[in-house]
């Protein structure tokens, strides 16, 4: 089943390559008839739409396969399941498997990818092959990160997403500063990951293997763990991101296409979350315990810095981007709480953020921007006058972003803070400031855009179309459903998270 998850997006990419980027209606003898049919059935006669449909159908097939794996997953054991091993060229050995933690990151990836494709479904009409192929390849690479059972493979796929996102921002981004944004993203995350590669090579020199299961059974001295831990943490902190390496994220979000922002917020930031759980806690537990006070301090600085920076933003996409930094700081607090509730809360908050943050980007960078053609908050006001349904969705996602009860984000934040409270109440109180600060900037953004006298700078606009409504509804349903029924996820995490902490004692 894992092989299907990895191969189907690649097969979809190959199918897209065989489609010509032209409108087949020009081959009709009756030109007027050809144009008329093309307008009525664009998915049959307009090859750009055929490319988009192939990408969307491929991503949906992958979503159904991941749901099938979830329904057939045995959560009563901590063992890797659906294990797949194969070799290539007599020296490349690939080993993949899913456990109780990675299954949810795989599900999040397969869920967010079709959302990203639909978010730019009508906006991208040039270089459509490159655009939609990039997102299918990106889906495979991300899934490979979450299912790799080898540390070197984890690093390779962890880094392989960089050139794809770089190309997306560089070619399909907007704004005069997109080149700087693309290079900031690429160089910051690449430079941060080089120490990880050195740490992996050192581990290989110790044990002659980079297999996760073999390494987890070996003992590494505390002094060696400290050095290795620093190498891994630098890479993961740059990808999270944590202060002071946060500058690339707002720039990447503000200048990337909408689908790029959706993927960045929904899944790319979760690569680091998974890395903390899979590598630092699992393989280097003693060094993790030793460095935890420093990590908690960095997280508090990141939360406060990002929240205060968010409040003063005038660009809507930058505001949502800075809020992501603050939320990911709470996620890392929960991971390093060294408690089962804290880690489970971090995973819940990561999943909830993967629903809510893309929805907010779609609202401000898609729905609103497509109509008013600006992201400057001062120029937008009173949208509820013409967009009541959109305003309702905006309100619900704003509440979820704050962490209001009955949302998945609420449970994630509370469990993360409860977990860190058991370890250090002072850090928990400081971390809880994110709740107050997120309410400040989230309510300000919603109130400023939605209410008041309609802005004289804007023409009358239309409310949500069917595509936008379905996208936002698809993101809202799991946010509320899992907020009301969190046991569906939590019950399946107990064994894996308990084993993660206590098997290393």
Residue 308 CA to residue 254 CA, distance in Å, equals 18
No. of helices (H) and no. of strands (E), the chain: 23, 2
Position 89 confidence tier, pLDDT thresholds 50, 70, 90: low
Residue 48 pLDDT > 90, yes or no? no
Would you say residue 111 has pLDDT above 90? yes
- pLDDT, tens digit (0-9, with 9 covering 90-100), for 433-480: 888 899 988 998 999 899 988 888 888 889 899 999 999 999 999 999
Task: Choose between 336 and 91: higher pLDDT.
Answer: 336
Quickly state the pLDDT bin for 29 (edges 50, 70, 90): very low
Least confident of 33-37, 150-154, 494-498: 33-37
Q: How confident is the model at residue 40, as a pLDDT?
A: 52
Question: Could you tell me what percent of the chain has a pLDDT over 90?
Answer: 49
Helices (H), 122-278: 128-147, 151-172, 178-207, 212-217, 222-239, 248-255, 258-263, 270-275
Reduce the DSSP state of residue 78 to 3 states and report it.
Answer: coil
Segment 321-332 mean pLDDT: 92
Please work out, in degrees rounded to the nearest 5, the angle formed at the alpha carbon of residue 480 by the alpha carbons of 399 and 390. Answer: 55
Instruction: Spell out a b/e string for 271-289, using b for 16 or more CB atoms within 10 Å of the CB, else e.
Output: bbbbbbbbbbbbbbbbbbe
Between 342 and 1, residue with greater pLDDT: 342
Q: 69, 98 in Cβ contact below 8 A? A: yes
DSSP conformation letters of 90-115: TTEEEEEEE-TTHHHHHHHHHHHHHH
Overall pTM > 0.85: yes
Q: Is the pLDDT of residue 24 over 70?
A: no
pLDDT at res. 75 = 86
CB 68 within 8 A of CB 1: yes
Please name the helix (run of DSSP H) or strand (run of DSSP E) that holds residue 83, with its range, or none.
Answer: strand 81-88
Task: Tell me the average pLDDT of the chain.
Answer: 88
Per-residue pLDDT reduced to its tens digit, 233-242: 999 999 989 9
> Alpha carbon of 14 to those of 132, 135, 138, 162, 228: distances in Å?
11, 13, 14, 21, 40
Task: Give per-residue pLDDT as tens, 291-303.
Answer: 999 999 999 999 9
As a whole number of Å, the CA-based R_g of the chain is: 23
Q: Maximum Cα–Cα distance for the chain, whole Å? A: 78
Residue 366 DSSP code = I
- Domain borders along the chain are 1-500
Identify the helix (H) or strand (E) that includes residue 474. helix 466-484
Burial of 501 (0-12, 13-18, 19+ CB in 10 A): middle
When pLDDT is cut at 50, 70 and 90, the band that residue 88 belongs to is low
What pLDDT, in 10s, does the model give residues 196-231?
A: 999 999 998 888 888 888 887 888 888 989 999 999
Q: Which of 46 and 144 is assigned the larger pLDDT?
A: 144
Angle, CA 251 vertex, CA 357 and CA 361 arms, to 5°:
25
Residue 22 has pLDDT above 90, yes or no: no
The two tokens of residue 49 are 């739409």
Q: Do 451 and 443 form a contact (C-beta atoms < 8 A)?
A: no
pLDDT of residue 32: 52
DSSP state, residue 76: T
* pLDDT tens, residue by residue, 247-259: 888 888 888 999 9
pLDDT at 25 over 50: no
- Write down the pLDDT at residue 35: 53
More confident residue, 1 or 60: 60
Does the pLDDT at position 328 exceed 80? yes
Is the pLDDT reported for residue 152 higher than 60? yes
Question: Tens digits of per-residue pLDDT, 361-398?
Answer: 999 988 999 888 888 888 888 899 999 999 999 999 99
CA torsion sign for 151, 196, 296, 435 is negative
3-state secondary structure 394-448: HHHHHHHHHCCCCCHHHHHHHHHHHHHHHHCHHHHHHHHHHHHHHHHHHHHHHHH
Residue linked to tokens 């921002």: 169
Beta bridge partners of 93: 87
Confidence at 501, pLDDT banded by 50, 70, 90: confident
């Amino acid at each position: 089943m894992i092989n299907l998850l990895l191969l189907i997006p690649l097969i979809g990419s190959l199918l897209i390559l065989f489609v010509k980027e032209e409108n087949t209606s020009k081959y009709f003898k009756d030109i007027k008839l050809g144009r008329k049919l093309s307008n009525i059935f664009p998915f049959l006669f307009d090859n750009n739409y055929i490319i988009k449909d192939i990408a969307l159908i491929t991503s949906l097939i992958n979503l159904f396969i991941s749901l099938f794996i979830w329904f057939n997953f045995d959560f009563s054991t901590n063992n890797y399941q659906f294990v797949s091993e194969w070799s290539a060229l007599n020296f490349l050995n690939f080993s993949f498997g899913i456990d109780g933690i990675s299954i949810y990151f795989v599900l999040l990836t397969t869920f967010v990818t079709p959302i990203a494709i639909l978010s730019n479904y009508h906006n991208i009409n040039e270089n459509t092959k490159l655009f939609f192929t990039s997102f299918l390849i990106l889906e495979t690479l991300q899934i490979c990160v979450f299912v790799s059972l080898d540390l070197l493979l984890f690093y390779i796929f962890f880094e392989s997403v960089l050139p794809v996102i770089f190309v997306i921002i560089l070619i399909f981004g907007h704004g005069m500063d997109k080149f700087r944004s693309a290079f900031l993203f690429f160089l910051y995350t690449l430079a941060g990951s080089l120490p990880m590669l050195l740490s992996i090579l050192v581990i290989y020199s110790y044990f002659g293997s980079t297999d996760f299961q073999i390494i987890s059974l070996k003992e590494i001295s505390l002094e060696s763990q400290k050095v290795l831990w620093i190498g891994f943490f630098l890479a993961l902190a740059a990808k999270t991101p944590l202060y002071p390496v946060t500058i690339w994220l707002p720039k990447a979000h503000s200048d990337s296409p909408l689908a790029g922002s959706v993927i960045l917020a929904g899944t790319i930031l979760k690569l680091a979350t998974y890395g903390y759980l899979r590598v630092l806690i699992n393989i280097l537990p003693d060094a993790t315990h030793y460095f935890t006070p420093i990590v908690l301090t960095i997280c508090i600085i990141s939360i406060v810095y990002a929240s205060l920076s968010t409040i003063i933003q005038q660009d809507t996409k930058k505001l949502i981007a800075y809020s992501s930094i603050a939320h990911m700081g709470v996620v890392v607090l929960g991971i390093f709480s060294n408690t089962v509730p804290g880690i489970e809360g971090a995973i819940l908050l990561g999943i909830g953020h993967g629903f809510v943050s893309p929805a907010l980007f779609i609202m401000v960078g898609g729905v609103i921007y497509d109509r008013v053609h600006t992201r400057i908050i001062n120029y937008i006001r009173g949208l509820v006058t013409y967009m009541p349904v959109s305003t309702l969705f905006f309100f619900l996602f704003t509440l979820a972003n704050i962490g209001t009860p009955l949302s998945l984000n609420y449970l994630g934040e509370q469990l993360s803070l409860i977990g860190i409270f058991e370890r250090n109440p002072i850090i928990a109180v400081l971390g809880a400031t994110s709740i107050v600060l997120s309410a400040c900037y989230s309510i300000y953004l919603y109130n400023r855009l939605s209410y008041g006298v309609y802005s004289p700078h804007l023409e009358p606009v239309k409310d949500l179309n069917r595509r936008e409504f379905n996208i936002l509804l698809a993101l809202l349903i799991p946010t509320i459903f899992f907020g009301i029924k969190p046991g569906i996820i939590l019950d399946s995490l107990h064994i894996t998270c308990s084993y993660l902490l206590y098997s290393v004692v």
